[in-house]
Amino acid sequence: MELVAMRRSFKLLSLLLVLNVIQGCSEPPQDTEKSRAFLTQRALSLAPTDPEIAEIYTRTCRSCHSTGASAAPLTGDLANWKPRLEKGMDVLVENAINGFQGMPPLGLCFECSPEQFEQLIVFMATAE
């Protein structure tokens, strides 16, 4: 009698395990190309709420920071911006002004103040 009960619970357990595996398989695969496309699509749709910053962003940073073709960290790609933010805002503003590797000095905004650079960076690094 006890053995039957044990067999039954074993069957139930195996069924649960199988279901678990099936469920695991139905999760979407980690497709980096797909998530890159998703991030690019989203970067294109994001804009700062402040109209003045939005105008500057559209005219300057956006041309590189919203296109998947560029090595620039995408607007709203929080994982890419995280280690950059860890350098500190002062360093990021300085790098935006002086240029940093593929990033040209001033990022095409020749009239931007350091405060505006900071606003642009905060927007790109935190937009969701």
Look at the chain and count its residues.
Answer: 128
C-beta neighbour count of 78 within 10 angstroms = 14
Query: Which residue of the chain is nearest ligand HEC when measured via CB?
Result: 107
Distance (Å) of CA 4 to CA 8, 23, 123: 6, 28, 64
Residues 82-101 that bind ligand HEC (CB under 6 A): 84, 87, 92, 95-96, 100-101
The span of 2-10, 36-44, 47-55, 102-110 binding ligand HEC (CB under 6 A) equals 102-110
Q: Provide, rounded to whole angstroms, the least separation between the CB of residue 71 and ligand HEC.
A: 4
If binding is defined by CB under 6 A, does position 71 make contact with ligand HEC? yes
Judged by beta carbon, residue 42 or residue 63, the one nearer ligand HEC is: 63
Instruction: Compute the C-alpha angle 59/62/95, nearest 5°.
Output: 100
How many Å apart are CA 30 and CA 23, to the nearest integer?
Answer: 15
Closest by CA to 75, choosing from 65, 83, 84, 67, is 65
Residues 8-67 that bind ligand HEC (CB under 6 A): 60-61, 63-65
Kindly list the residues in this chain that would bind ligand HEC in the complex (CB under 6 A): 60-61, 63-65, 70-73, 84, 87, 92, 95-96, 100-104, 107-109, 112, 117, 120-121
